[in-house]
Amino acid sequence: MANKVSVGLLGFGTVGSGVAAIVQQHQQDLLHKLGTEVSIDKVLVKDITKKRDTGLPPDVFTAELDEVIGDASIDIVVEVMGGIEEAKQAIEQSLRAGKQVVTANKDVMALYGHELLQLADTEKQDLFYEASVAGGIPIIRTLEDGLASDRISNLMGIVNGTTNFILTKMKQENMSYEDALAEATALGFAEADPTADVGGLDAARKMVILSSLAYSTEVSLEDVLVRGMDEIRDGDVELASRIGYTIKMVGASQTDEDGIEVVSEPVFLPDAHPLASVNNEFNAVYIHGAAVGETMLYGPGAGSLPTATSVVADVIAACRNLLLEVNGKRQHAPQHERAIKPPDKQIAKYFHRLSVDDEVGVLTKVTAVYSGRGASLASVIQHPGEEEGKAELLLVTHRISRQQHLDITKDLEGLASMISHYRIAGEESV
């Protein structure tokens, strides 16, 4: 049994400092679980002169990457430096140097995860990435181990706390988008530049990671249909509530004989669906498996200590593999060839909000467009529009393909203006 496992940290920001705090404060627990000490012996920072409130000795801090990766005594490298290209290179160098690697970097894993996992297999090292999705929720380990015997058919999750916080405030407190975003920023739930969050890109990257793992195939960011919060129009949140739905920004994917569909977009969820009651900055992932049926994981999706907890859990897993001398034994090659569904195979119900001229016969003309594309309507509601001489139509379709939805949108040009549209998700689960 080794006297200790030595860890090198790349980065000492919000998550890195949280990792250090947990490792230092839980030494007795780690010793009990592993039978050996876990020690943070090197920390890469940009400025070694900066004063830090930490129990680590000053000489562990360095501004040179090679002092961490090149140190033969370092067993595990933890990448929490952020960014993409520099972090990717650091992970590659660490694996090639014979280090086990733990990363919390969703951007790197979404863009280069397949490549890096293959490198880990080649180098016979471990690469763990639990904290790259949903903060403190153990979703990666659940898919990789807990549900390893099952066949996952679909995933749907609220995996971005910023957008969920904003939508919660908009629904429960009737806040404007701008005011809700300002509060999220003030509370630290939103980045200074929230573009990736509110634009749906952050959730899309996480769905690339989850879908690749759940379906044992290669999913890339280009395969994901991405729509952001700018697609949500004034009044949509209230309208959804009026007819029994809640608008949520979700990442979703599903697989069947036609291939895989992956989206990151605002959707209508039935109020009775479990994800509809996930509020504020919390995350949740809803899973359907052939054997387990439906299950959901819920918890804090971000923050220093929740994310750091997932990182340290990966460190413990890497330590166990090292101590048992089984590191690098898990193979990550995909089982199935990549097959992405075309739009005519992506099936769902849709909500359409249209603005039309308030005149006799317009409803007949509009419904004829739908029937002309083979789409039937589950409900139609008409009410006065905001402009004089205009009316609004709220239509819910039966299940149609995304291609039908796109064709209907095009066919309506000149007859009606599409104010907003949403896929209706989750009705099969309530």
Active-site amino acid positions:
206
Torsion over CA: 355, 359, 360, 362 (sign) = negative
What's the rounded Cα separation, in Å, for the pair 305 and 294? Answer: 29
Find, among 351, 345, 352, the residue nearest to 269 by Cα. 351
| Cβ neighbours around 393 below 10 Å, total | 20
- Using alpha carbons, list the distances in angstroms from residue 371 to 265, 375, 419: 26, 5, 20
Helical segments of 26-56, H only: 27-34
Helical segments of 65-194, H only: 66-69, 85-96, 106-123, 139-141, 161-172, 177-186
Find, among 309, 302, 340, the residue nearest to 206 by Cα. 302
Contact 230, 198 (CB under 8 A): yes
What's the rounded Cα separation, in Å, for the pair 68 and 84? Answer: 19
What's the rounded Cα separation, in Å, for the pair 140 and 117? Answer: 14
Q: 80-112 b/e with 16+ CB inside 10 Å = b?
A: bbbeeeebbebbbbbbebebbbbbbbbbbbbbb
Phi, psi of 186 (to 5 degrees): -65, -35
Q: Strand 37-44's sheet: what is its strand order?
A: 61-62, 37-44, 4-10, 76-79, 100-103, 127-128
Classify 291 as helix, strand or coil. coil
Q: Which amino acid, 260?
A: I
Find, among 425, 424, 403, 418, the residue nearest to 233 by Cα. 418
In 257-371, the DSSP E strands lie at: 259-270, 282-289, 293-300, 347-357
CB burial of residue 399 (10 Å; 0-12, 13-18, 19+): middle
What's the rounded Cα separation, in Å, for the pair 175 and 167? Answer: 9
DSSP state at residue 341: P
